[in-house]
Structure 1
Amino acid sequence: MRMITFFLVGLTVHVVFFLSIFDIYFTSPLVHGMTPQSTPVAPPASRLVLVVADGLRADSLFTNGSSRTPYLRSVIEDMGTWGVSHTRVPTESRPGHVALIAGFYEDVSAVAKGWKENPVEFDSVFNESRHTWCWGSPDILPMFAKGATGDHVYTHTYPAEEEDFASTDASRLDSWVFTQVKFFFRSAKTNATLKDSLLEDKNVFFLHLLGIDTNGHAHRPMSQEYLDNVGLVDAGVAELVSIVEDFFGQDGRTAYVFTSDHGMTNWGSHGAGHPSETLTPLVVWGAGVNHAQRVTEPQPYSDGYLQGWNLEHLRRVDVNQADIAPLMASLIGVPIPVNSVGVLPLLYLNNTDQFKAESMYTNAIQVLEQFKMKMKQKKETTLSFLFTPYQLLTESKQAELIHKTRILIQLEKYQDAISLCQSLISHSLEGLVYYHTYDRFFLGCSVVLGFVGWTSYVILVILKTHASLNRHPNLTKQIQSRNLARLCMCVAVVITSFLLIQRSPITYYIYCLLPVPVWYSVLKESGTLRNLIQSAPSLPLWKCFVYFVLVAFGIELLVVSFFHRAMLTVGLGVLSLWPLLSGLFRTAKLRSLSWFLGCLCLAAFPLMPVVGREPNIHLVTCAGLLTLFTSACYLWSSQQRTVLHTSDRYQFVAQMLHVAVCAYVPSLTHSSLQQKQGLPLLNQIISWSTLASSIFVPLLSSTRLFYRLLSILLSLTSTYLLLSTGSEALFPPVLSWLMFVWINIEQEALLAQGRQELSTIDFSENIDITRIRQLKLDDIRRSYFFVFFIITAFFGTGNIASINSFDPASVYCFLTVFNPFIMGGLMMWKVIIPFIIVMCTFETIQVTTQLSSRSLFLIVLVISDLMALHFFFLVQDYGSWLDIGTSISHYVIVMSMTIFLMLLSVLTHILTSRRLKLWKRTKMHFP
């Protein structure tokens, strides 16, 4: 019962620490209650056509544009203004479209909704328009219709099943959109009601073109399919403009915006901060837009792309992606979305200086309204004597800047007014960040205090329960405990009162009050620390010091490996020398040599590229054959020591045949997709049935140590092969080899103490509690090895911290229709499989060393928590968005790993020790 209680308390504490990062860094930046701001001057356009080519890279449009995209190239050179739209991380479809149409960068909480639903309601250009007609993907369009007030956003979408990576040609998605738009305008000529609506002002037409993105995922951005799709879009846009101009009688009141939500890497993924993902094209032309401006002087862009695009003679105007929303709003005269943080790019506008000044003033007031609302909210929830306003934009300074700007506009000093507005916007945006992060330091201190307290408590529990210390009775312990409880209660009351007065969110109570019981538990166990100090003379202090220095160095190595995977190679190189340094080489030469070679083979994987690997299905087949060969040898050698039941033998033969089938299925699937014949149904059935049975099949095998581990390996490898596209398929067999050697070496060291042979150990036999020994320094080494191999299993073949390391081709044996949740779930299971292999090894070592799982796991918990605390201090909210996202994701990964390992330890215990008996078995005989 105490074990279960400790597990639940530990799980709760770590869940709280994990969730704290979302309250500190991932809260929504949006505020509500602002008044929409409109420009009083008449707009240049009556309608806007927005075309978003999903997944289109800037270089794919601008390079060789005259041959691949002749129409858009002619627009760039004659009729419009062009530039690069810089996106932010995560470079995914939903946040990209939100930035384009609503003008703000959506917080990461939207990922929990799969980028489909609105985690918070927000304003958009579509919402502020009179009417908006949309055509395209069912993943994007509905969220803007749902968020709009009234019923003026009309969506036309194709079925989600059409988004199939294995389709013959995904460009048909874009053809569908262009066809629907043609039909729409054709029918409007005979539909008087629709025609009247179209002839009104402030209308928007939105075309979402998903074909390029789908072809990029399926065939890569350099493929002919991708480039042909870009050409199809160019021809479609040319025809679209002709249709629109014809319908409205060439009235010159239509503005056009062509852009993309995100780019794509060379290997067909997106989500992170690589330039190929964050640089997207922007071409604007039509009513109110500047014509192409020819320049002779060098332009202020040092990225080196202009020469490659042959556009150095035309003025390039780069924008942040959120700047497009105020640009579209200004062109058609609708209020800028109230949550927009975009700054109106004036170089795109072809209008009077008065219009530009008034538009920029509207933009400044709109951003300032958000700042004022944010400041008001924070002021209301902070004690007056503790509230520190943003000094660059106090209430008096706000009034002064607004008044001065209006005076300058009235005096027709438009350029001075524009400069003042830009300064006001800059200060307002900085102030928004200031108030958004106002409580960050306070919350961070609370979390760190709880973190240090919990880690200290776990160390004291380890010392109290599993260390041989000289314990001295303390007669005043109960009195001290009561006094300590009263003190902690008073502290909790003070904290609660403070938070109540400030009307803090409920989560603040959890973060601030959690350290109180944690530190109460620490102080309550202070006697254990005194006993340790008193027992110090009898301890091997020099050996303890060396161990702790090595572990500290090892923890730092693991922290650095999150930034540089090659450090895992260095670590494996050092670990390969362990038998030699520990003296095990003298008694177990063959196993020591196997350990050395296993470490070196595994060390090769962190040096391989995470992303950009070309599929090599032959390596998947080789991995399957390697697994079969090693399993056969393993099974043959095991049967020399134990007699395997006939039914178990049949099961292993069936599992090995299953591995052979799963090694062939990826090759068959890859061949079928290359020939554009789609995903074979039989392959899909085999894949899903393998996935569904991978956890249950090992439960049918013998619980003898070697046989259960072999069954688990065969079952998990079958699934891993189906999720592999290249060299990563070799990772589980190599990792399993090293884990098997680790088990044998640990047992070799214990045989001298009279421990039983590995071949006679049964997982189903519980450890005799009376034989549980005290912890030794070697157990710290075992726990560190475990954490090291868990991190190696995590980063050995990929980096889940980087979204663009995901290769959609990995799931093609299961499905080819775009489904982010199922695809993400399959990729997570692929990451978990090496975890389970390491966890099963650790479970085996706990059994063979006759040490309770709680004992070793507590040490693992301390090591993991020290890493998590390290990453908490490395979290940053400055620098590039990639740096910010990476620092946060590292903390989230380590915390998730700690929580996950707690749950996974229960799963692996069941996986190794439980057995499903579907038929009656006779008793095994052992020589």
Structure 2
Amino acid sequence: MKMITFFLVGLTVHVVFFISIFDIYFTSPLVHGMTPQVISLAPPASRLVLVVADGLRADSLFTPLPNGSSRAPYLRSVIEERGTWGVSHTHVPTESRPGHVALIAGFYEDVSAVAKGWKENPVEFDSVFNESRHTWCWGSPDILPMFAKGASGDHVYTYTYPAEEEDFASTDASKLDTWVFTQVKSFFQSAKSNSSLRASLFEDKNIFFLHLLGIDTNGHAHRPMSREYLENIGLVDSGVAELVSIVEDFFGYDGRTAYVFTSDHGMTNWGSHGAGHPSETLTPLVAWGAGVHNAQRVTGPQPYNDPYLQDWKLEHLRRVDVSQADIAPLMSSLIGVPIPVNSVGVLPLSYLNNSDQFKAESMYINALQVLDQFKVKMTHKKETTLSFLFTPYKQLTESKQEEFRHKAKTLIKQAKYEDAISMCQSLISQSLEGLVFYHTYDRFFLGCSVVLGFVGWTSYVALVILKTHTSLNRYPNLLRQNPNYTLWRLCMCVTVVITVFLFIQRSPVTYYIYCLLPVPIWYSVLKESATLTNLIHSAPTLPLWKCLGYFVLVAIGIELLVVSFFHRAMLTVGLAVLALWPFLSGLFPRAKFQTLSWFLGCLCLAVFPLMPVVGREPNIHLVTCAGLLTLFTSACYLWSSRQRTPLHLGSRQQFVAQMLHVAVCAYVPSLTHSSLQQKQGLPLLNQIISWTTLASSMLVPLLSSTRLFHRLLSIFLSLTATYLLLSTGSEALFPPVLSWLMFVWINIEQEAMIAQGVSGRQELSFVDFSANIDITKIRQLKLDDIRRSYFFVFFIITAFFGTGNIASINSFDPASVYCFLTVFNPFVMGGLMMWKVIIPFIIVMCTFETIQVATQLSSRSLFFIVLVISDLMALHFFFLVQDHGSWLDIGTSISHYVIVMSMTIFLMILSVVTHILTSRRIALGRRAKIHFP
């Protein structure tokens, strides 16, 4: 019962630490209560057409063909003759939803909002669509609904195709774009005979939004350099040309239509997106029509240092780059609607072809709109902070705000438009900095609370290890009941003070949790201070130099693991060092075969961190080779173990069936890949085999014998079969190599136990996971167990970073799930990819469970050490979290902490799962009730 209580408490503590990072760094930047700002001057356009080519890279559109022509001749002619062009720089994550939110709402969506939902999440922010008189949208059911649901009034109309059409195995994904263009054409055709619709269309402040998903789908399925992707760009170009003709014809060429063509994100060469590679963050922007500058030729050097202009052959035309959020105020200005109140975009004046007065007034409105957000944020923080503790943003006090506004307005009245624009841009910059200041106002306070809890929890676990799992000399407990009672009263007083303080400041409920959690943790630590006293008294009897050496080596090892998050090659260095361990520890003379196997296994596994996580070309032949390697190693084991632990007929039949199943799963990816290449779709039989394999992967091992190696082999075969179906290349070789090393690790740890003179050793072949543990044979922890625990943490990190993983968002390759489904479904696909990441975890966890049994330790003692090592890593990453630098640097530092904390929580849960997976057996009929070896 105590272990269950400790597990639940530990899980709760780590969940709180995990969630804290979202309150500290991932809170929503949105504020509410601002008043929309409207320009008094007439806008240049009555309507706007927004075309978003999902997944279109800037270089794919702008780079001409080898013969000098363009794959997008219409848009090229717009760039060269009657429009303004540039690059729109996106933010991480470069995904469709945050990209469209930045384009249409003008701010960069927080991660917590993305996690709420993809399709049906109600709009909790203002947008250009919401401010328009009418907006008509055509395109994907994954994007359009979030801008329609929650919009004030009923003026955003969406037309979407069925979600099933978003099929990566489609013979022609460009049909998604053809559908959109066809629907728009029919829409304007029907409007000619529909008087009410025609009247609405001729009103001002209207928007037409075309979301084109074909390019993105073809990029995922065939890569951005493929014929399908590039031809889809040509189809979009001709569709835009026809669209402009239809719109101009319908409105009688009145010159009141503005056009904006852009993309939500780009795509890597290997067909993924989500991170910060230039191929993902550089997207095209082309604007033309009413209120937009015509093409402007330049003779001098462009104000951009990148090498792209020469490749694009556009160095003679003025290029105007923007941040993606800047497009929202540009669209608002063109049709005269208020800039979305949550926008942090800055109006790109270089795109506007209007009077200096209009530009100055528009920039002034932009400044007021951003300033309003700052004022609301400041007021809210001031109201929820004690007056003597409140620190204002000194660069933008209330007096300075009023001074800014007055000067800018005066300059506009005096027709000093350039000066007014400069002052407004300065005000916007100050307001944005002030928003960040108040948005991160409580960050230091919350961070200190979390660190205090972290240190307390790690100290408590260390004291529990010393108290319950070591052989320290016992001395009388120096902390009697009276001091404990005094300590309890002190903690209660601290709790009351913290609660009152947070209540006065009207802090959120989560603040109470973060600030109060350290109190019971440190109460528990101080209660165990006698254990520390015992350690001090026992110090003279301990091998201090050996202890110090172990702790120094583990500290260096932890630093190596931390660095490996930034440089995966450090795992190769670590594995090379681990390969020498048996030689350095003196195990080689007594276990030569195991030592050489360990050495070769470490070196083979060391190759994988040197291989690219992303950008790999699919190589289905390697998947087939991985299947053959799995069959070979399994057959060798069964053959070598036939004398020591003969298999019963039922077990033999199960292993033969599992091996045949692996052979089938090794062939299914090849068959699926061939079918998709021929554009014949996903074969139904392959899909049935894949889903059946996935569903049975955790059940089949429960049918096998609970003898140690038999059960481990069954788990390995079952999980590898699923992993093969989720592989596209060299990563399929990772589980067989990892499993080989894990089997060797079990054997070599047994030899290490003999070398240490531990009695009661059993022959591993006869160890049974389900047998009742003889408590009298459970030993106390020794220094060498720290090394075992570190090895486990190291292999867990290697299992995570050794091959494709979620550390980089753009490592996701949709081709990995094509054996299961090809229709776009982000949550199912994400779940399958997560299971692929988990499979190596389970292999390592089952090995660790085995080592605890084989080395005669309780199921919790080694895990306690693992918990301390993991928490030290997490605390290290907590200090590495940064809120400055590039968006990618900030996101990376936060994601590392999230990964380590998620892994710690996951390992606590997975330890229970692996215990069941190794020690339980499903009884099928009477025969299954007999325990066979």
Normalised by the shorter chain, which TM-score bucket? over 0.9
Instruction: Tell me the equivalent position of 2:861.
Output: 855
Match of 1:917 in 2: 923
Query: What secondary structure does 2:588 align onto?
Result: helix
Amino acid at match of 1:35: T
- Equivalent-residue separation in structure 1 for 2:119 and 2:542 (angstroms): 60
Aligned to 2:7: 7
Q: Percent identity at matched positions?
A: 86
Aligned partner of 1:872 among 870, 874, 878: 878
Between stretches 754-763 and 321-330, larger displacement belongs to 754-763
Find the partner of 1:533 among 525, 531, 536.
536
Q: 1:885 aligned to 879, 884, 891, which one? A: 891
Which stretches in structure 2 are left out of the alignment for 5+ residues? none
Q: Is the Cα–Cα contact under 8 Å of residues 86 and 284 in structure 2 kept in the other structure?
A: yes
Which aligned pairs between 1:435-514 and structure 2 lie closer than 5 A?
Answer: 435-474=438-477, 477-514=480-517
Partner Cα separation in structure 2 for residue 749 and residue 923 of structure 1: 34
Aligned to 2:20: 20
Deviates more, 1:497-506 or 1:140-149: 140-149
How do 1:552-571 residues align onto structure 2 when only pairs under 5 Å count? 552-571=555-574
User: Offset of 1:466 from its aligned partner?
Assistant: 1.2
Deviations 1:876-896 (A, max 9, x none): 011111111100000000000
Whether contact under 8 Å (1:221, 1:264) holds in the other structure is yes
Q: Secondary structure of the equivalent of 2:138? A: strand
The 2-side partners of 1:796 and 1:359 are apart by: 53
SS at match of 2:91: coil
CA shift at 1:643, angstroms? 2.3
Quick one: distance in 2 between partners of 1:173 and 1:553? 54
What corresponds to 2:379 in structure 1? Answer: 376
Please give the per-residue CA displacement for 1:227-264, whole angstroms capped at 9, x wherever unaligned. 00000000000000000000000000000000000000
1:812 to 810, 813, 818: 818
Q: Aligned AA for 2:887?
A: W
Q: Which residue of 2 aligns with 1:205?
A: 208
Deviation at 1:119, TM superposition (A): 6.7
Q: Give the corresponding residue for 2:231.
A: 228
Offset at residue 91 of structure 1 (A) = 0.3
Query: Which residue of 1 is the match for residue 271 of structure 2?
Result: 268
Give the CA deviation at 1:924: 6.2
Q: Distance in 1 between matches of 2:637 and 2:543?
A: 41
Moved more, 911-920 or 715-724: 911-920
Whether the 8 Å contact between 1:642 and 1:925 is mirrored in structure 2 is no
Q: For residue 68 of structure 1, give the secondary structure of its aligned residue in structure 2.
A: coil
Equivalent-residue separation in structure 2 for 1:376 and 1:565 (angstroms): 46
* Aligned-residue offset at 1:474: 3.4
- Equivalents in 2 of 1:563, 1:791: separation in Å? 12
Kept in 1, the 8 Å contact 2:119–2:141? The answer is: no
Q: Is structure 2 residue 909 aligned with structure 1 residue 903? A: yes
Q: Equivalents in 2 of 1:245, 1:596: separation in Å?
A: 73
Matched, 1:167 2:164: no
Give the CA deviation at 1:67.
2.4
1:524 to 527, 536, 540: 527
Instruction: Kindly report the root-mean-square deviation, in angstroms, between the aligned alpha carbons of the 2 structures.
Output: 1.0
Deviation at 1:436, TM superposition (A): 0.3
Partners of 1:823 and 1:113 in 2: CA distance? 17
Q: Provide the C-alpha distance between the structure 1 equivalents of 2:134 and 2:72, rounded to a whole number of angstroms.
A: 30
What's the secondary structure of 1:756's corresponding residue?
A: coil
1:15-164 equivalent positions in 2, closer than 5 A: 15-64=15-64, 66-118=69-121, 121-164=124-167
Q: Which amino acid aligns with 1:520?
A: Y
Aligned: 1:400 with 2:408: no
Q: Where does 1:572-591 land on structure 2 (aligned, <5 Å)?
A: 572-591=575-594
Distance in 1 between residues matched to 2:812 and 2:368, nearest whole Å:
42
Aligned: 1:287 with 2:293: no
Please give the secondary structure, in 2, of the residue aligned with 1:853: coil
Shift of 1:23: 0.3
What CA distance in whole angstroms lies between the structure 2 residues aligned with 1:398 and 1:67? 50
Are 1:258 and 2:261 an aligned pair?
yes
Matches of residues 358-369 of structure 1 in structure 2 within 5 Å? 358-369=361-372
Cα pair distance change 1:68/1:475, threshold 3 Å: closer
Report the TM-score, using the length of structure 1 for normalisation. Answer: 0.99
> SS where residue 259 of structure 2 aligns?
strand
In the alignment, is the contact (CA less than 8 A) between 2:93 and 2:276 conserved in 1? Answer: yes
Whether the 8 Å CA contact 1:123–1:147 is kept in 2: the answer is no
Instruction: Give the Cα–Cα distance (whole angstroms) in 1 for the partners of residues 794 and 807 of structure 2.
Output: 17
| C-alpha displacement of 1:639 | 1.7
> Residues 37 and 362 of structure 1 are in contact (CA less than 8 Å); yes or no, is this contact kept in structure 2?
yes
CA contact (8 A) 2:705 2:932 kept: no
Deviation above 4 Å: which 4+ runs of structure 1? 922-926
Aligned residues of 1:113 and 1:119 also touching (Cα < 8 A): no
Q: Distance in 1 between matches of 2:327 and 2:104?
A: 8
Q: Which residue in 2 is equivalent to 1:769? A: 775
Q: Classify the secondary structure of the residue corresponding to 1:357.
A: helix
- Structure 2 contact 48–331 (Cα < 8 Å) conserved: yes
Q: Kindly state the Cα deviation for residue 925 of structure 1 after the two structures are TM-superposed.
A: 7.3
After superposition, residues 397-796 of structure 1 pair within 5 angstroms as: 397-474=400-477, 477-751=480-754, 753-796=759-802
Which of residues 818, 830, 836 in structure 2 aligns to 1:830?
836
Deviates more, 1:118-127 or 1:518-527: 118-127
Counterpart CA distance in 2 for 1:50 and 1:925 is 69
Q: Say how many residue pairs are matched.
A: 926
Spell out, residue by residue over 1:687-746, the C-alpha distance to the aligned partner (whole angstroms, 9 max, x if none).
000000000000000000111000000000000000000000000000000000000011
8 Å CA contact retained: 1:694, 1:716: yes
Q: 1:495-520 deviations in whole A, cap 9, x for unaligned?
A: 00000000000000000000000001
Q: Which amino acid aligns with 1:797?
A: T
1:844 positional shift:
0.2
Q: 2:299 aligns with which of 292, 296, 307?
A: 296
**Which amino acid in structure 2 is aligned with residue 911 of structure 1?**
L
Listed one character per residue, the Cα deviations across residues 455-489 of structure 1 (whole Å, up to 9, x for unaligned) are 00000000011122222213651111000000011
Displacement after TM superposition at 1:792 (Å): 0.2
Q: Which amino acid aligns with 2:455?
A: V
Distance 1:695 1:450 in 2: 36
Q: TM-score, normalised by structure 2?
A: 0.99
Q: Distance in 1 between matches of 2:599 and 2:349?
A: 64
Whole-angstrom distance in 2 between the partners of 1:898 and 1:768: 29
Q: Distance in 2 between matches of 1:570 and 1:804?
A: 25
1:817 is paired with a residue whose SS is: coil
Per-residue deviation, 1:800: 1.1
Q: CA deviation at 1:923?
A: 4.9
Larger mean Cα displacement after TM superposition, 915-924 or 815-824: 915-924
Q: What is the SS of the residue equivalent to 1:67? A: coil
C-alpha separation between the residues in 1 aligned to 2:114 and 2:904?
22
CA–CA separation in structure 1 for the residues paired with 2:349 and 2:150: 28
2:820 is paired with a residue whose SS is coil
Query: Of residues 240, 245, 249 in structure 1, which corresponds to 2:248?
Result: 245
Question: Which secondary structure does the structure 2 equivalent of 1:396 belong to?
Answer: helix
CA distance in 1, matches of 2:579, 2:345: 54
1:770 CA drift (Å): 2.4
Q: Is the 8 A contact 2:357 2:412 kept in 1?
A: yes
